[in-house]
Structure 1
Amino acid sequence: MSEILTCLEHQSVPIRPTRNSGDFAVTTAQAAQLSKSKSIPQDAFRWGHQSLQWRQFCGVVQLEGLTLEILPKIYGKESQPGSCRLTLIRMLRKAGMMKVHRGAGASIHAQNHSLLDIFIQEFCLLLREQTLIGKPRDYQQQEANLGVVKGKLLVNQQLRQNLAHSERLYCQFDELTDNITINQIIKFTLRVLFPQCRSNQSRKAVTELLMQHDGISEERFSSSNIDRIQLNRTNSRYGPILDWCRLFLDTRNPDVTAGKHNLLSILFDMNVLFERWLAAELRPIAHHAGLTLKEQSPRRHLAYRPDIDQNVFQTRPDISLINADKKVVLILDAKWKILDSNEAKLGISQQDLYQLTAYGNLYNLQSLALIYPRQQNLEAHYPIQLYGRQRMGLDVFCTHPLPSVKLNR
């Protein structure tokens, strides 16, 4: 069973020729696995002098002999990996990026299990619930020698195979079966997950589900096979389960080394997660204020090219609040970044400020907001006045979990 090495985002991990159990380091061979992996985003980490540093990606990466667990750096909880892990799980659930079983949060202790075990257990809970209702089934065309006619008699095959056995009838018929692609994908995913289980609870859950899928054929699949499945009214409840299967299968990279080790990585971009989490938190508040929250919209263009009669430079605001008159009243930009309290500009990216100023002018706004996670030595709120043809106020929030955003109609 591989050892778990837990680190925080932006934390530097030493690279050594060899490592002993318990060392906070990875070996040169393990670092080489990371560099060759096609399943890890190129900007997930950066190289240092005999070290590597994870950037804004958090999750789990399983190497040969070692499992890396990268957790978000949560203000005030940096020394508590369990609390950081729990915060990440809660954000994933709230953002809808991790489909979970109802009540899973109560039965899975996120502070006491590794991330990979948590993912496996939540997948198993969701699958167990649907399996109790009944595995999906479908009619499949089959051919067989029977004692009575079933479906239709295939005359050519009957003459070819049963000429000397008149008691046999070669028939073609439709049979209702659970040995279909969806269940085969699920079984293959369970097979992939079993050797990754670290806790007895995870291993037991996977084993029980494999036993329930004992009559399903053993096939190999990739995430592309899942993309080709067409869900319908009878099996749509398996959509979240297939999303989990896609997540597990899409992150496997069997060609990392010359050996047969399968590198498995499940990484989440904290910029995307923070934006979706914030939208999920603000949506009911906006609704109560009579506003509609939109993500990545409404889209407009910043410019027009008359020579080709085409609009160019389309905008995609992170979060917009729209009133009953369909007018955008506030645009919020979510940034999972580290600021600097010693700078007059707070370390805010000039590009981000230009972008928001362009949004304010294009959408004719009086107020904008930049929202960052809570950080050390930073106040919860910084007001900034933007210069320009029209005066706009920019509220910079450095808070977690939720900023006190003024929702004006």
Structure 2
Amino acid sequence: MLLEVDAFNLHAPTSAALRLKANSVLDLFFQLFISEVEYLLHSGLVKKYRRKEGNVTALKGNLIFGKHIQQNLTHHERFYVGHAVYDPQHKLHAIIYKTIRLLKHINTSADLHSHIGNLLLSFPEMADVMVSAKTFDTITYNRKTEPYRKCIEIARLILLQYHPDVTKGRNHVLALMFDMNLVWEKFVYKSLRKHIRPETTITAQSSKSFWKPDRGMHSRIRPDIVIDHNTEHCIVIDTKWKNLNGSNPSPDDLRQMYVYHQYFGAKRVGMIYPGQVPSRVAGVYLPTKEQGAGLQCCLIGICVDTELRRWQKAIYEEVANWSEN
């Protein structure tokens, strides 16, 4: 489903140009991160001032007298000082280096192995840092560090979602999240568009104004899929990534479909759900006087299939049979 709806391009937090290969979702995110780090290395790493304390052989900065006496009482050639250093040792680079080291342990792609090894050799070695959500919340960007934003966003995704299992083992877990409501909507739309007849029109996210205030913008309604818009055969479909478990849809969902009946002049309206077995349950809106007589809303359960092309064809056939009966 993710591959069919181009979810990688929709949700990837970078715009780096990458070619698609036969790899996993994780490999794609790893490649995005590697590309961003390589870009930073080619552009030149940003340096910052930091304070450093320690023994030196030449007096510079401020002499820290207490520690100087404690450590150098018998070493008159040394000075314990605190001074400013201008180098690439700062928090942004520590986060990136920690992510590179993590990728070396969990990467399983042979194509990325050499790239990760080159990054470890090219990137300055950093001290290990403890990373939490608060670490990223305190990061601020300026004109010099703005190019780091994309790289740090991907590093946050990798580091914060990486965690070992609760039981002892050698495997690592990296969790990525997708908006399955959006994925399911696009998957159903593309499945219908792929098999629909040439004389039939299909649109996604068609909007129509339904309320106008005295001042300001109109409020609009936007169903997921509309077939044969502005015709007497108009059909409106909403996709729902839910498991009803035999219960009724929510009142809000049913009200929403009733509005589509009225404002799109739809012949039929229906909600499509994923399920273990195909199903179709029709319900009638109870009329008030002469309003809403004969209006129906159908609940269509689509059986999930591991074979993608067969699954897409089944979605089209189920919708076609429902619309023609």
Q: Equivalents in 2 of 1:187, 1:386: separation in Å?
A: 63
Residue deviations 1:163-200 (CA, integer Å, cap 9, x gap):
33333222111112222222122122122222332332
1:353 corresponds to 2:253? yes
Aligned partner (choices 147, 150, 158) of residue 68 of structure 2:
158
1:91 corresponds to 2:7? yes
Q: Would the alpha carbon gap of residues 276 and 99 (structure 1) be closer, same or farther in structure 2, given more than 3 Å must change?
A: farther
Amino acid of the structure 1 residue aligned with 2:9: R
Cross-structure match for 1:326: 216
Q: Equivalents in 2 of 1:275, 1:150: separation in Å?
A: 65
Q: CA deviation at 1:349?
A: 4.0
- Residues 331 and 368 of structure 1 are in contact (CA less than 8 Å); yes or no, is this contact kept in structure 2? no
Cross-structure match for 1:261: 171
Classify the secondary structure of the residue corresponding to 1:230: coil
Amino acid of the structure 1 residue aligned with 2:216: K
What percentage of residue pairs aligned between the two structures are identical?
22
Aligned partner (choices 15, 20, 27) of residue 109 of structure 1:
20
Q: Would the alpha carbon gap of residues 121 and 193 (structure 1) be closer, same or farther in structure 2, given more than 3 Å must change?
A: same
Cross-structure match for 1:133: 43
Number of aligned pairs?
248
Higher strand share: 1
Q: Equivalents in 1 of 2:131, 2:253: separation in Å?
A: 45
- Residues 150 and 171 of structure 1 are in contact (CA less than 8 Å); yes or no, is this contact kept in structure 2? yes
Q: CA deviation at 1:227?
A: 3.0
Amino acid of the structure 2 residue aligned with 1:351: P
Cross-structure match for 2:151: 241
Q: Would the alpha carbon gap of residues 271 and 210 (structure 1) be closer, same or farther in structure 2, given more than 3 Å must change?
A: same
Residue deviations 1:120-177 (CA, integer Å, cap 9, x gap):
1122112211222122332211112223332222222233333333332221111122
Q: Would the alpha carbon gap of residues 152 and 208 (structure 1) be closer, same or farther in structure 2, given more than 3 Å must change?
A: same
- Residues 130 and 238 of structure 1 are in contact (CA less than 8 Å); yes or no, is this contact kept in structure 2? yes
- Residues 222 and 250 of structure 1 are in contact (CA less than 8 Å); yes or no, is this contact kept in structure 2? yes
Runs (5+) with no aligned partner, structure 2: 188-206, 225-237, 275-284, 301-311, 313-325
Q: Would the alpha carbon gap of residues 352 and 275 (structure 1) be closer, same or farther in structure 2, given more than 3 Å must change?
A: farther
Runs (5+) with no aligned partner, structure 1: 1-71, 73-83, 278-318, 340-346, 376-384, 400-409
**TM-score under structure 1 normalisation?**
0.49
Amino acid of the structure 2 residue aligned with 1:98: A
Amino acid of the structure 1 residue aligned with 2:59: V
Which sits farther off after the overlay, 214-223 or 187-196? 214-223
Q: Would the alpha carbon gap of residues 171 and 102 (structure 1) be closer, same or farther in structure 2, given more than 3 Å must change?
A: same
Q: Equivalents in 2 of 1:93, 1:254: separation in Å?
A: 28
Q: CA deviation at 1:243?
A: 1.6
Q: CA deviation at 1:244?
A: 1.0
Higher helix share: 2
**TM-score under structure 2 normalisation?**
0.60
Cross-structure match for 1:293: none
